Amino acid sequence: MIHQHFMLVPPLSVAENVVLGDERGGPALDRRRIEDRVRELEKRFGIEVDPSARIEDIPLGLQQRVEILKVLYRGSELLIFDEPTAVLTPLEVDELFEIVRTLRDEGKTLILITHKLREVMAVTDRITVLRGGQNAGELVTRNTNPGEIARAMVGRDLKELKARATPPRTEVVLAVRGLEARSDRGSPALRGVDFEVRAGEILGVAGVGGNGQSELAQCILGLRRPSAGAIRIGDVDISKDDPKRTRARGVAYVPEDRHLEGLVLAFTVADDFILGKQDHAPFARHGVLDPVTILRNGGRLAAEYDVRPPNPRAIVANLSGGNQQKVVLGRELSERPKLIVVSQPTRGLDIAATEYVHERLLEQRGQGAAILLVSSELDEIRALSDRIAVLFEGRIVATLDAASATEERLGLLMAGHSEAA
Amino acid sequence: MAVAFRTGLFNIGAESQLLVGAVAAGAVGARFGFLPGPILFPIVLVAGIGAGAAWAAIAGYLKAARGVNEVITTIMQNYIVVFVIHWLLQNGPMTAPNALGTPASAPIGDGAVLPIIIPNELVPLTRLHAGIFLAILAVVVFWFVLWRTPLGYELRAVGLGARAAAQAGIDPRVHTVIAMAIAGGFAGLAGMIQVTGVFHRVFDGFSAGYGFDAIAVALLGKNSPIGVVLAALLFGAFARGGSIMQANAGVSAQLVSVIEAIVLFVIAAELIVRILARRRGPKPLEAIA
């Protein structure tokens, strides 16, 4: 099993991690011998990693190879990959698939668990579609197409995303100038970021996770204090405002982690719908909450945003991920925000829920909202954005028009290759 | 106590907040004892609640501004208060001659004394006084604040999901201080009721660990207003019943402590099981997503 979240010991070397839990051969660890064994494995399966490198010093793509080596070292014949590409750059994905093909040709059996159709089409021989815990179809990759798989996954035809009919307006809603900020660990996370988002425009922010995306969203919301630079909504600098004041200026936020940040899971649907709006009319009058209005509002929004079950008294923790995200959307989008900061809005959602989120965002765009879309899903960014900014190591290394942003170009930029070449 | 738990804080300092409230009530009640009841009583009430709230707010502030663990600060506050009271009564400004044999303060003014509502002659061995009405009122206020005001909503949101609350514009730091202050206010009220209803003065070691019982009561009552009332009645019955059993049936009063401990163990065990289940339960699902 190759887990989505790696199970490695960061301070140990590659070879030590590979033999971990299986350090046979006497009390003393023969470093040379295990490194040789690991090298032998690498040669046989065409996997390249320096056996003496430390895990904490090598990138995620290489760490994943260590995970694969670990399994091979134990002589496994069946390898299960759980969402193996979630943290990889497009280049690393291609390299992973090379390894996967080699393993197959060596006679190993591989199971690839993924929700990305492209990957399924690229490397598999046969496909089993799971829907709601049941087998929803078996297909032979050679004889099928992404549309058929998607149909099996959703149980119906997918709607085409409406083309971006209206061009963005000229009015600049959000202007970020020379923004710098530090991460929680105190290292520079943003190193001079400039961009603007106009009304009726979606600006996609692409990049491999951990290149400053979270910090950017947090700075705009007022959850993190920038160390330099300005963030303007219209003519007002909000870089020093707290979330309450920022939100009062018409900023909505769909956070990356809906369990920790988006929702109070133990609340009812109705209560989560008023989070941040609890202290003013119509939900509170003269310092007293109005439970009838809160419940009615909960029922109305649950129906409007297709939360299932549409019961305002349901506890949010018991809803599915897609329905939880609908609660977040209902709360954030129902008051006609001017700017919407959206972070990884479809992470972990199934195809139907993803489609729903995308439709709602495009609807907001049509109504003139400015949207900053942070996502590590290139397909998502390319499908929704008018312009795409690529964030690498705290800087925007390029801003492309959606039309000219091919996957290859974005992939190279995300991996730190500059445009100049 | 339960208020603080609701906000995700662990207030171990109810004992000290109760004592501070009691001392404030006792001091004010004695100093202004000449005032008539309708004026004196509200002053004593405010003094008790205010002192408990302010004392607890210190721990809340340290937690919010400096990240100091509130369990540590409130425990340390307990010791500070116990010894300061010791000094106040032994040979400090509040020392007064009395017939109790232990160091004690001067009695509070008659105007501040809570009337006994069931006299001893009617039902022996009780000390039921009008404080029960204050306690009932406190429970109602607790329920109302927590479930019917924006402030209560914010406190619950911070307790159940601090980061979600923060991004929605509810400052967890401010609400930490408020939650501790409210919790301290209730504890201070309890201390004030002890002084005005039972002893009519402050003496050394007068709180038989009521503040610590409060932790148990809040746990047993699962922090809901009605649960807390029922739990408090149970523990009250334990305490009274224990001494009566000893007097009449020769059962050791210590047995009560044993029973209380067993009750708490069972609750704690349930909590641990639930936390473990939560850790194991939904996590793997998340990993797939």
The set of long-range contacts for A296-303, using a CB threshold of 8 Å and a minimum separation of 24, is: A297/A270, A297/A273, A298/A268, A298/A269, A298/A270, A298/A271, A298/A273, A298/A274, A299/A270, A301/A273, A301/A330, A301/A331, A301/A334, A302/A269, A302/A273, A302/A327, A302/A330
Both tokens assigned to B195: 């002084």
Distance from the A403 Cα atom to the nearest Cα atom in chain B, whole angstroms:
30
Asked if B67 reaches chain A (Cβ–Cβ under 8 Å), the answer is no
Handedness of CA B7, B12, B16, B21 (dihedral sign): positive
The larger pLDDT score, comparing residue B43 to residue B226, is at B43
* Residue A295, C-beta contacts closer than 8 angstroms, at least 6 positions apart: A270, A312, A313
Which of A83, A261, A279 has its CB closest to that of B167? A261
Q: What is the three-state SS of B213-259?
A: HHHHHHHHCCCCHHHHHHHHHHHHHHHHHHHHHHHHHCCCCHHHHHH
The larger pLDDT score, comparing residue A350 to residue B174, is at B174
A278, A319, A327, A351, best to mutate vs chain B, most B CBs in 10 Å: A278
Please say whether the beta carbons of B255 and B39 come within 8 A.
Answer: no
Contact (CB<8Å) A4/B164: no
Pairwise CA distance, residues B259 & B2, whole Å: 22
Which of A354-358, B85-89, B138-142, B244-248 is predicted least confidently?
B244-248
- The per-residue pLDDT of chain B, averaged, comes to 78
Pairwise CA distance, residues A78 & A75, whole Å: 9
Give the pLDDT score at B283: 38
Give the pLDDT score at A61: 79
Q: Is A75 exposed, middle or buried (0-12, 13-18, 19+ CB in 10 A)?
A: exposed
Contact (CB<8Å) B288/A83: yes
Domain locations in chain A as residue ranges: 14-124, 159-250+335-421, 265-331
CA nearest A326: which of A298, A309, A302, A347? A302
CA nearest B189: which of B2, B13, B6, B18? B18
Q: Identify whether A309 is preceded by a cis peptide bond (ω within 30 of 0).
A: yes
Mean pLDDT across B214-241:
75
Q: Is A70 exposed, middle or buried (0-12, 13-18, 19+ CB in 10 A)?
A: buried
Please say whether the beta carbons of A228 and A179 come within 8 A.
Answer: yes
Amino acid at A23: E
Q: Identify whether A27 is preceded by a cis peptide bond (ω within 30 of 0).
A: no
Is it true that A14-124 and A159-250+335-421 share their CATH fold? yes
Pairwise CA distance, residues A362 & A343, whole Å: 15
CB contacts of A289 in chain B (<8 Å) are: 147-150, 152-153
Residue that the structure tokens 């039309």 belong to: A403
Which of B147, B150, B165 has its CB closest to that of A287? B150
Name the range with the highest mean pLDDT among A61-75, A173-187, B228-242.
A173-187
Domain locations in chain B as residue ranges: 2-210, 221-289
pLDDT over threshold 50, residue B281: no
B5, B153, B171, B222, best to mutate vs chain A, most A CBs in 10 Å: B153
CATH of the domain spanning A159-250+335-421, picked from 3.40.50.300, 1.10.357.10, 3.30.1360.100, 1.10.15.40: 3.40.50.300
Asked if B99 reaches chain A (Cβ–Cβ under 8 Å), the answer is no
* Residue A276, C-beta contacts closer than 8 angstroms, at least 6 positions apart: A244, A247, A331, B168, B169, B170
The larger pLDDT score, comparing residue A421 to residue A360, is at A360
Mean pLDDT across A354-375:
93
Please say whether the beta carbons of A99 and A45 come within 8 A.
Answer: yes
Pairwise CA distance, residues A246 & A252, whole Å: 9
Which of A200-209, A371-380, A405-414, B141-150 is predicted least confidently?
A405-414
Contact (CB<8Å) A3/B287: yes
Give the pLDDT score at B208: 60
Q: Is B158 exposed, middle or buried (0-12, 13-18, 19+ CB in 10 A)?
A: buried
Which of A245, A261, A291 has its CB closest to that of B164? A261
Give the pLDDT score at A15: 85
The set of long-range contacts for B234-239, using a CB threshold of 8 Å and a minimum separation of 24, is: B235/B260, B239/B208, B239/B213
Distance from the A243 Cα atom to the nearest Cα atom in chain B, whole angstroms:
5
For A255-273, write each residue's pLDDT tens digit: 988 888 999 999 999 999 9
Both tokens assigned to B35: 């005032």
The larger pLDDT score, comparing residue A229 to residue B140, is at A229
Contact (CB<8Å) A223/B166: yes
CB contacts of A264 in chain B (<8 Å) are: 156-157, 160-161, 164-165
Pairwise CA distance, residues B153 & B145, whole Å: 8
- DSSP character at residue B123: S
Residue that the structure tokens 């065990």 belong to: B269
What's the pLDDT band for A25 if we cut at 50, 70, 90?
low
Pairwise CA distance, residues A382 & A375, whole Å: 10
CA nearest A81: which of A104, A59, A54, A58? A104
Which of B154, B161, B168 has its CB closest to that of A265? B161
Asked if B163 reaches chain A (Cβ–Cβ under 8 Å), the answer is yes
Whether domain A14-124 has CATH 3.40.50.300: yes
- Quick check: ipTM above 0.90? no
Contact (CB<8Å) B167/A113: no
Give the pLDDT score at A120: 86
Give the pLDDT score at A372: 97
Residue that the structure tokens 């000449």 belong to: B34
Give the pLDDT score at A5: 72
Give the pLDDT score at A358: 94
Give the pLDDT score at B29: 85
Question: Which residue is closest to A328 within chain B, CA to CA?
Answer: B164
Determine how β-strand A370-374 pairs with β-strand A339-343.
parallel
CA nearest A277: which of A294, A263, A291? A294
CB contacts of A260 in chain B (<8 Å) are: 161, 163-164
Q: Is B42 exposed, middle or buried (0-12, 13-18, 19+ CB in 10 A)?
A: exposed
Give the pLDDT score at A290: 93
CA nearest A267: which of A357, A348, A327? A327
Name the range with the highest mean pLDDT among A309-323, B115-129, B264-278.
A309-323
Mean pLDDT across B144-154:
91
Please say whether the beta carbons of B25 and B17 come within 8 A.
Answer: no
Pairwise CA distance, residues A162 & A173, whole Å: 24
Question: Which residue is closest to A284 within chain B, CA to CA?
Answer: B150
Both tokens assigned to A47: 């996997």
Could you tell me which residues are beta bridge partners of residue A174? Answer: A197, A233
Q: How far is CA A326 from the centre of its chain?
A: 17
Locate all alpha helices (DSSP H) within A334-406, ordered by sequence: 351-366, 378-384
